[in-house]
Amino acid sequence: MASLLEQAIAARDNAHKERGFMLDTAASQKRSFSDAEESKFQALGTKHAGLTERVSQLERSEKAELAARPARIINAGGFTAESRGGTYFPSRESPSFFGDLISARSGDANAADRLRTNNQETRTNAGLGSYTSGHGADFSPPSYLDVVTQARAGSTFANLVHQEELPTGVSSVNLPRILGTGGTTVATQNPQNTGVSNVDVNTDLLTASVTTIAGAQIVSQQLLDQTPNYGGSTIDQILMNDLSADFARNLDVQVLTGSGASGQLQGYVTKAVSDNVQNVAWTLASPTAPKFVAAVASLVSSVASARYKAPDFVLVHPRRWQWFASSVDSTGRPFVAATGSSGFNTLGQQGEITAEGLVGTVLGLPVYADANIPVNLGTGANQDLVIVGVRDDAWLWTSPIVAEVLNQPYASSLGLYLRLYSYGAAIPNRYPNANGLIYGTVGTGSTGLVAPVFATT
C-alpha cells in the first residue's frame, strides 16, 4: 500500500495533469473555458496548492521520523530508555535542555553526551538554521521545541522566498547582476564570414549586510531546577517556545518591511516602494471583490510582461482575505467558492480555514495570509497592502539558530542568562520587475485597501 506521502504526491501530480489537459483541450479547440470549466480549473488550482503544502509537511515529518528511530537517551540513573522521538522530549521525565547546558559546563559527561546526540538529531532532522557546529557552550535547540518550524511556519512570507544558508565568516553577501540595459546581444550574420554581434556585458553587485536577530531571558537557577511542569511543559520548553515564536515574528517583519538600516534586513516592501517599478495604487472609494480581482490581475499582467515570468503567489493580510471570501453579489451569491465546490460567479476558491498560510486561490494563484503585513498605512493609517510576486526572485540567507545558557555575571545571585540568536541577510529585489505591490504613494496609500467593512446586517 502506498504511503501517505506517495498518495499525496500522486494526487498533486494528477491535479496538475488535469489542469494541463483542460488547458490543452481548450487551446486545441481555440476556445476559452465555460463557466463550469473555469470553476473546475480554479478548484483544481486550490487542490494542487493544498497538496503541494501537504507533500512538504509529510516530507518533513518523514525526515524527522527517520532521524528519531535510532535516538536513545542515557538517564541519570544509568539505564537506557526510548527517547520518544529524540534526546529531549516534552515530559518531566525528559532531561532538561537548559539544565544539561549548565551541567555540561560543570563537567557532567552524560549531559555533554546528550547535547552532542541532540545536535546530531537536529542536523538530520532537516532545516535551514536547525543545527550548529557545537563548540562547547552552544547547542541546537532540541527538535521537540520545533524552533525551526516555528521560525519558518510562523513566518509566512519568510517561508515563501528563496532560502539559502548564510556563509560563515562574512559581514555581507553579494549577488552579481547583469544590468537590464547591459546584457549580451545576438544578431543575424549577414553576409557569411563577417563579424558576429559582440557586446560587452554590463554588471554590478547587489549587496546586503548581515544582521543579527536575538533574544534572551534571565532566570534563577531555582526556577530551572525546582519549577513543576505546566500542562506537560517544563520551564525550558516554555521559555524556548516563547523566544522562538518572537524570533519567527521578528524575522518575518524584517523580511517584509525591514528598513535595511540600523541593523535591519532589507525588506521586500521597502525595496519595492523605493524601486517604484511595480508599485501601484488602487484608489477606490467603495472597493468590491470584482474590482479587487481586477487590481490583482492588472499587477499580474505587469509583472509577467516586464519580468517575462509569471507571478506564483499573492500575499494579503488575513483581514483582506476574509473580506474577499465573505463578499457576495447583488443576489447574495458568494464570489469565493467553498473548498472543492464551484459557483456561478466564482472569483476565487477557499482553501483550508487558517489564520496564516495558504488560504485559497485567486486567478489560479495561491493566496497566502500573513498577519505581519502592516494595516496602518495611508493617510488614515488604516490601509493594508497586497503583494504579487515570484517566490524565487527574493533571496533570504539565515544562519543556524543557536541556543546558549550563561551563568556570568549572574553566578553570585544564582542567575542564568538564556539566549537564542541567528544571523541573516536578504536581497529582495534581484528583479525589481517581479516585485508587484498594491501600495501606492508613501503616506497616501491605496484607498481601496482601507479597513474592510463586513456586511453583517
Query: Quick one: which of 222, 186, 181 has its CA closest to 202?
Result: 181
Is the pLDDT score of 68 beyond 80?
no
Instruction: Give 411 or 382, the one with higher predicted confidence.
Output: 382
Mean pLDDT, residues 40-46? 79
Percent of the chain at pLDDT above 90? 21
- Rounded-to-integer distance, Cα 386 and Cα 45, Å: 20
Query: Quick one: which of 383, 394, 407, 379 has its CA closest to 436?
Result: 394
- Rounded-to-integer distance, Cα 352 and Cα 346, Å: 17
Mean pLDDT, residues 24-28? 82
Mean pLDDT, residues 366-370? 92
Kindly report, residue by residue over 128-176, the tens digit of the pLDDT: 333 333 322 344 455 444 333 333 446 889 988 988 888 888 989 988 8
pLDDT band at 372 (very low <50, low <70, confident <90, very high): very high
pLDDT of residue 420: 86
- Rounded-to-integer distance, Cα 195 and Cα 185, Å: 13
Which amino acid is present at 355? A
Kindly report, residue by residue over 186-217, the tens digit of the pLDDT: 888 888 888 888 888 787 888 899 999 998 88
pLDDT of residue 61: 61
Query: Quick one: which of 454, 317, 295, 326 has its CA closest to 375?
Result: 317
Mean pLDDT, residues 95-121? 74
pLDDT band at 317 (very low <50, low <70, confident <90, very high): very high
pLDDT band at 12 (very low <50, low <70, confident <90, very high): confident
- Rounded-to-integer distance, Cα 284 and Cα 299, Å: 16
**Partners of 387 in the β-ladder:** 315, 437
pLDDT of residue 63: 57
Kindly report, residue by residue over 268-303, the tens digit of the pLDDT: 999 999 888 888 899 888 899 999 999 999 999 999
Top CATH class of 268-395+430-449 equals alpha beta
Is the pLDDT score of 54 beyond 70?
yes
193 CB burial (10 A radius; 0-12, 13-18, 19+): exposed
Q: Which residues contact 211 (CB under 8 A, 6 or more apart)?
A: 254, 258, 263, 264, 265, 423, 424, 425
Q: Which residues contact 330 (CB under 8 A, 6 or more apart)?
A: none
Query: Quick one: which of 96, 64, 420, 425 has its CA closest to 244?
Result: 420
